[in-house]
Structure 1
Amino acid sequence: MLAKPQFYNAPHFRSFWEKGNGKELLDWANITIDIQDFDQFAPLYHQYDELADDVVKETYLKMPYKQASSLIHHGASNRISVDDDYPDILKEFFMQMQQVPVWLNRDLANAGARFCMRSGTNALIILRDFSLMGGYDYAYLNKPLIFTGILKKGAVKRLKDTLEFWIGVTRENALEINSEAYQLVVRTRLMHAYARLKIKSESTNWDYEKWGEPINYWDMIATYTGFSLVLMQGLRKLGLEISEQEELGVFHLWKYIGYLLGIPAVYLPENRQEAVKQLYLWSSVQDQGDEDSVQLARALLDENLENTIYKYPFQRKMLLKLHQSMNWFLLDEDINERLQIPKVGIATAFPKFIITANKIAQRIFSLDDPEKYQKLVIRGDKDQVQVLEDYIKHSPKDFRY
């Protein structure tokens, strides 16, 4: 079974890449993409992290939860060697993750991490209102969320988990072997495997031809492109300047994160040209947003009203309108309409305020002055961590993997 670019000539594909945010990406990358290159990546749609699946089969699907969790925690927090008295499949899994690739440039990855930090709450707005909400318009990408019932668990919890992962892995030197961020990556990788196995064992109507394998390599690459390429595109819209070193650093950081999550490194993009090409070719297998997409979008909007971080209903309603204004500023008009995102009056007022504030901050804290730049990094990190702490405090504590 091999994926086909079945939506290459579909109106939603052409609109995005010829008139919308896709055209902006093509212009930024300054490339022309040949659809004939599709076959180079098509096998990834039916390939997945088999090693992680095998680990889950031998632990969480065989042992009591506490026993399995203890084994995983030990392997994630300690160096594992071939001589250890440890299950063979776990030994293989952790020794693979502990093998630092020769291509890893820690200085470059840290440049990407510093950019993620100095972008402050701007990054959180883009991740939510551009990357995540825009991703809901890819109908097939979101099927695992529907089939695993994650939608029913609430957007507050889902946002907290995503925010915790993103902040955890995008700090300087965060991904040292056995660090807290490394352990978070281990849990996330196995959570993906657990969800995939559950879908394959319990869902008789999963459409492999249309949707590929659940949580396949190509979908994962597209998802992490949302954390790199699309994040930077959105931040540019908000007036943030990005140096060449920062840009390459973000891609390098996510290449390493993707490697730790089990994706073959040879397919992970190293620059915006490779990332735009990947996204273009992958999106040709994705139908436009459907009813499930609308439900996901509605749940994300309703999270503003459900979250108890703000005490009073009027504060929550105001926050909802601010996020809706960002959706309409950042996303293509037809995507907002498909996702049924209500339009608010003076939709550009809040985005214009943010853009002005960012330009002023960049003039005051010159990006060319290392001392001033570091102040932006420290302030941005503090703001992001504060938002995460608020979400942790106000989220249900029922996580299992």
Structure 2
Amino acid sequence: MSKLKLYQNIEFDRLRHIQDPLADQLVSQLIKNPELITLINSWIEIPAKIENSFPQEFQDYFNFYLTQNDIPGEVLVKGQKIFNEKGDLYLAMLGFYSLPYAYAFGDGAEVLVRSKRILSDIGRRLGETGSFILDIFEPGAFLTKNKAFLTCAKVRLIHGFSRYFISHYASDWDDDYGKPINQEDLIGTNLSFSLIVIRGWKKMGFTVKSAEVDLIMGYWKWVGRMMGIQEHYWPDNAKEAFQLEKLIRKRHLKSSDAGHQLIQALISYYKTTIPDALISSQVEPILNFFLGNEASKALNIQSSNPVSGELLGLVFKFSGWKTYGSNKGYSQIARQFESNQKALYGERLEIKLPELNRS
């Protein structure tokens, strides 16, 4: 059955008031029992058995991950193969298209800007996003390696903490934004990490086979399930994906102070940290190229220098070759990523729940 009938304002108005009860119930317990936060942060993967001595919310949450028995093995293996071949281009699109595009959606940006770390410590925040992507696309992830389950579980709980703190302490939150990190926002974020990446590749003239589109969208359907997204609304084909993104864009793409703060922080960071001068000197034109006129206008990105998509594709390919060499693959990308983080922060950035002050 086609999902196009679901992609209506009335349906998505409803989704703006639905969050993630399973994660939110556990966050309420973690606030009361911060020692459990320390415990989760100490795990390398979710233990094979969750003891009955833990609170029921704790058991329910992690047993969700331990009882998944319909894992789409073929989709995961083939999706990881795509990342192994194009991982550098995948990460490039996240930084230059997916994240900036999300900033152009005003109501969702209101959540992001209230996380002060995104503005004051953007490098670490971007590094953590990269760690998330590398964990979920690691060869064997969700199949022979279980770390990805814990990574998704922790990111999902981080969303829950954001909802908790906004609902309890953000006196300036406007109900017109919808509930913080609601189902529509989660679906939109998932699209920015999947469909928008594919769109970016196509903008640079790269051939993307229909089978690759289906695999990437199928991969993120699975990741969406692990992140608490109602997969009933996730598109089953390219046509549905196009219509879903179009609906959310029409509903929420708009200028906002929050979006302007986020994009300016990102631009400043890129200009001062990207080692490739061909890219760092052309940040605004590159963003303008990927985002297009409407989103660029919403984010107040102005550039009088048009960028050639094919030339930009060559620049990104050359940058990847300089960084990873001719044997580029997951291992080389992960190793370089870790090396960069250790040089900047003295450690590889891992996804961690916020430790609460117990004083």
> TM class by shorter-chain length?
0.7 to 0.9
CA separation of 1:392 and 1:236: change in aligned 2, threshold 3 A: farther
Aligned to 2:295: 335
Letter in 2 for 1:291: D
Aligned to 2:46: 77
- Structure showing greater radius of gyration is 1
Query: What's the secondary structure of 2:25's corresponding residue?
Result: helix
| Aligned mate of 1:394, from 323, 344, 348 | 344
Aligned to 2:321: none
CA separation of 1:283 and 1:183: change in aligned 2, threshold 3 A: same
CA separation of 1:72 and 1:164: change in aligned 2, threshold 3 A: closer
- CA distance in 2 between counterparts of 1:163 and 1:381 reads 13
- CA distance in 2 between counterparts of 1:268 and 1:333 reads 27
Letter in 2 for 1:331: L
Matched, 1:39 2:10: yes
What's the CA shift for 1:212?
A: 1.1
Aligned to 2:334: 385
Q: Contact 2:272–2:280 at 8 Å: present in 1 too?
A: no
The two structures, once aligned, show a CA RMSD in angstroms of 3.1
- CA distance in 2 between counterparts of 1:39 and 1:57 reads 30
Aligned to 1:257: 223
TM-score (norm 1): 0.76
| Aligned mate of 1:68, from 17, 37, 40 | 37
Q: Contact 2:7–2:247 at 8 Å: present in 1 too?
A: no
Number of residue pairs matched by the alignment: 343
Q: Contact 1:301–1:320 at 8 Å: present in 2 too?
A: no
- CA distance in 1 between counterparts of 2:111 and 2:342 reads 24
Q: Contact 2:285–2:303 at 8 Å: present in 1 too?
A: yes
- CA distance in 2 between counterparts of 1:36 and 1:98 reads 32
Show CA shifts across 1:86-144 (max 9, x none): 32111111111222253x42112221222233123222221111111122111111111
CA separation of 1:334 and 1:88: change in aligned 2, threshold 3 A: closer
What's the CA shift for 1:152?
A: 3.3
Aligned to 1:348: 307
Aligned to 1:277: 243
Matched, 1:52 2:23: yes
Query: What's the secondary structure of 1:48's corresponding residue?
Result: coil
Show CA shifts across 1:55-83 (max 9, x none): 11112x1124x4432156559521235x6
Aligned to 1:14: none
- CA distance in 1 between counterparts of 2:317 and 2:94 reads 20
Letter in 2 for 1:261: M
Q: Contact 1:289–1:338 at 8 Å: present in 2 too?
A: yes
Query: What's the secondary structure of 1:394's corresponding residue?
Result: helix
What's the CA shift for 1:356?
A: 4.9
Q: Contact 2:135–2:148 at 8 Å: present in 1 too?
A: yes
Q: Contact 1:110–1:249 at 8 Å: present in 2 too?
A: no
What's the CA shift for 1:383?
A: 5.1
- CA distance in 2 between counterparts of 1:110 and 1:304 reads 33
CA separation of 1:207 and 1:287: change in aligned 2, threshold 3 A: farther
In structure 1, runs of 5+ residues without a counterpart are: 1-30, 361-374
Show CA shifts across 1:232-290 (max 9, x none): 11111222222233221111111111111111222222322222222222233315122
Q: Contact 1:124–1:384 at 8 Å: present in 2 too?
A: no
In structure 2, runs of 5+ residues without a counterpart are: 319-324, 355-359
CA separation of 1:283 and 1:325: change in aligned 2, threshold 3 A: closer
What's the CA shift for 1:394?
A: 1.6
Matched, 1:243 2:200: no
Q: Contact 2:94–2:193 at 8 Å: present in 1 too?
A: yes
Over the matched positions of the two proteins, sequence identity in percent amounts to 20
- CA distance in 1 between counterparts of 2:294 and 2:127 reads 28
Q: Which runs of 4+ in 1 moved over 6 A?
A: 33-36, 357-360
Aligned to 2:172: 205
- CA distance in 1 between counterparts of 2:126 and 2:304 reads 23
CA separation of 1:120 and 1:135: change in aligned 2, threshold 3 A: same
Letter in 1 for 2:287: N
Matched, 1:148 2:115: yes
What's the CA shift for 1:344?
A: 6.1
CA separation of 1:73 and 1:185: change in aligned 2, threshold 3 A: farther
What's the CA shift for 1:193?
A: 0.3
